[in-house]
Amino acid sequence: MARPPLLGEEELQQALRELPLWQREGNTLVREFVAPNFAAAVGLLNAIAVVAESMDHHPDLLLYGWNKLRVILSTHDRGGITELDITLAKKIEQLRFS
């Protein structure tokens, strides 16, 4: 499978306009979620894991506190943000706490 190219600055800015809850931190996209309870935070983490596995594109996930989840997206082997990260972020935005 061909490695996706890094996004240019203009492409990245357009993607961030479409994903207003995501922030750029260096060469990553980051989103913080605050769940209503611990079980919902774990449920969201598991739902993200299923989507990520289906794409074969895996984010860094940090569950902390009793209800917080930090999602960090980057295409590790490219050293930055690619269309894979944008696609995964959009899929994550479609998930809901359960």
Q: Where are the domains of the chain?
A: 9-93
Comparing CA positions, the residue from 77, 76, 72 lying closest to residue 89 is 72
Q: Band the pLDDT of 64: cuts 50, 70, 90.
A: very high
1: pLDDT strictly greater than 60: no
The kind and range of the H/E element at 94 are none
Identify the pLDDT of residue 97.
76
CA–CA gap between residue 5 and residue 91 (Å, rounded): 20
pLDDT digits (tens, 9 = 90+) for 13-63: 999 999 999 999 999 999 999 999 999 999 999 999 999 999 999 999 999
Q: Band the pLDDT of 95: cuts 50, 70, 90.
A: very high
CA–CA gap between residue 17 and residue 97 (Å, rounded): 23
Residue 58 near residue 74, CB atoms below 8 Å: no
CA angle 4, 69, 50 (to 5 degrees): 55
Report the CATH fold assignment for 9-93. Answer: Gyrase A; domain 2 (3.30.1360)
